[in-house]
Amino acid sequence: MFQDFAAPGLDLLVVAAGFYFNTRHHPLDAATTLRMLRTNASGLNHAFDWAAEKMLAQRAGQLVAVSSIAGLLHDYPGASLYSATKRHVLSVCATYRMALQPFGIAVTAIVPGYIDTAKLRALNGGDASHKPFLLSEAQAVACITHAIRTRQAVCVFPWQMRWLVAVLNRLPRWLLALRG
């Protein structure tokens, strides 16, 4: 499928797959662990490896991966594996950016906060309005398309989340665990 898709060349690849599992409310089993690793980490690695080969041959292109604000947290009680896989996305993006920049290939990491989607509402009993700095889908799309168009290295949005994460990362772990 990928070969046919990129036959005329590959200008842009966006990897937006992600799987979340809240371990505060459900035990994490082996199957769920593997699913999260395969979706959030291995899938990105395979897609970037394949696309980098195509883009290096043409010496142009852009790789984009969607992480999560959780990837910026040092510790995320109840979602530590998810947070770690999203940190992995940021690390992979940084590595590919360093390796591919000399060849004219951009790498963009998208780091969204809460977006008012049907999935987020479903995870929150039908209402996500309590989430901090909640953005509409249209606002998120505008941020993402701007980051891609301008070939930003890292796009964290909304900007207030970057500040909030900086504060949370300075709190002791035991205090964060009280939320659960």
Question: What is the mean pLDDT, run by run of 10 residues, along the chain of 180 residues?
Answer: 73 92 75 93 95 95 96 73 92 98 98 94 91 95 98 96 89 68
Three-state SS annotation for the chain: CHHHHCCCCCCEEEECCCCCCCCCCCCCCHHHHHHHHHHHHHHHHHHHHHHHHHHHHHCCEEEEEECCHHHHCCCCCCCHHHHHHHHHHHHHHHHHHHHHHHHCEEEEEEEECCECCHHHHHHCCCCCCCCCCCECHHHHHHHHHHHHHCCCCEEEECHHHHHHHHHHCCCCHHHHHCCC
Q: State the average pLDDT for the chain.
A: 89
Residue 9: the pLDDT is 85
Residue 77 makes CB contacts below 8 A (sequence gap 6+) with: 24, 173, 176, 177, 179, 180
> For the segment 59-78, what is each residue's pLDDT rounded down to a tens digit?
999 999 999 998 998 866 55
Is the whole model's pTM more than 0.85, yes or no?
yes
Residue 127: the pLDDT is 94
> For the segment 104-131, what is each residue's pLDDT rounded down to a tens digit?
999 999 999 999 999 889 988 999 999 9
Residue 179: the pLDDT is 56
Residue 59: the pLDDT is 96
Residue 178: the pLDDT is 65
Beta bridge partners of 108: 64
Round to whole Å and give the CA distance between 156 and 143: 9
Residue 1: the pLDDT is 64
Task: Please give the tally of structural domains in the chain.
Answer: 1
Burial 43-55 (b: 16+ CB within 10 A, else e): ebeebbeebbebb
- What is the domain extent for residue 79? 2-177
Residue 82: the pLDDT is 87
Which CATH number belongs to the domain containing residue 145 in this structure?
3.40.50.720
